[in-house]
A and B are shown apart, each in its own frame.
Chain A
Amino acid sequence: AQSVTQPDIHITVSEGASLELRCNYSYGATPYLFWYVQSPGQGLQLLLKYFSGDTLVQGIKGFEAEFKRSQSSFNLRKPSVHWSDAAEYFCAVGAENNDMRFGAGTRLTVKP
């Protein structure tokens, strides 16, 4: 069955520091992978997606993610975090039945 695991429930980083949020997926076929961000009281905004091709994908707000098939991972990175990046981040996989399977989310706190 399709599933997504985000091992880190909560991460705290200092403003200006680099960030990596982990995501592991389980899916039998070619995965279609997404990262969404949810600010407090807001809906889900797409940061980036991977369908095929270059395994390093660029997204909005300076985020990037790398697809590693051998590790079944799709980790999200940002070289320098801004205070406005504080939010909940969800990794998701597009599944067979037209639905989207989400990970449990990682809450990012940014220290001044």
Chain B
Amino acid sequence: EPEVTQTPSHQVTQMGQEVILRCVPISNHLYFYWYRQILGQKVEFLVSFYNNEISEKSEIFDDQFSVERPDGSNFTLKIRSTKLEDSAMYFCASSNPGGRRAEQYFGPGTRLTVT
């Protein structure tokens, strides 16, 4: 069964450093998403991506964040200068089709720890 994969599973970085979280969505999906879950809190939407551009983004997704689909398979989330409060589990998801009815398939997550 096709699945979304994410690497690395755990990333430790120092405050102020740049990190790139990587995701490989399901191959025939066209809509991609990033979510984060701060420890003990709810899963929060960050951004959705379709047709090589951002469709929607939340207030959390400020100028420190960017997303990219550098090739036909990867979908990345970059945090330019990490802060302590960026420590969270980051989930990638993909779907086909998109929109409110979309069943989103989630990856296992990357745990980001900022020290």
Contact = CB atoms under 8 A, between A and B. Distances in A.
A94 B99 contact: yes
A102 B106 CA distance: 13
Contacts of B4: 43
Interface residues of A, number: 25
6 contacts: A43-B4, A97-B55, A98-B31, A102-B42, A102-B43, A105-B42
Interface of B: 4, 31, 33, 35, 41-45, 48, 50, 55-56, 58, 91, 93, 98-109
A90 interface: yes
Contacts, number: 63
A35 B100 CA distance: 14
Interface of A: 32, 34, 36, 41-46, 49, 51, 90, 92, 94-105
B94 to A, nearest CB: 12
